[in-house]
Amino acid sequence: MARPRRIVLVRHGESEGNSDDTVYEREPDHALRLTETGRRQAGATGARLREMFGQEQVSVYVSPYRRAHETLRAFDLDLERVRIREEPRLREQDWGNWQDREDVRLQKAYRDAYGHFFYRFAQGESGADVYDRVGAFLESLYRSFEAPDSPENVLLVTHGLTMRLFCMRWFHWSVAEFESLSNPNNGEIRVLELGADGKYTLDRPFDRWRIPESYGITG
Q: Is 159 a catalytic residue?
A: no
The answer to whether 116 is a known catalytic residue is no
User: Which residue in the list 12, 69, 116, 159 is annotated as catalytic?
Assistant: 12
Give the separation between CA 133 and CA 156, rounded to whole angstroms. Answer: 15
Q: Which of 14, 70, 87, 92 is catalytic?
A: 92
- Phi, psi (5° rounding) for residue 12? -55, 160
Return the axis-axis angle of helices 36-53 and 66-75, rounded to nearest 10°: 50
- Active-site residue list: 12, 92
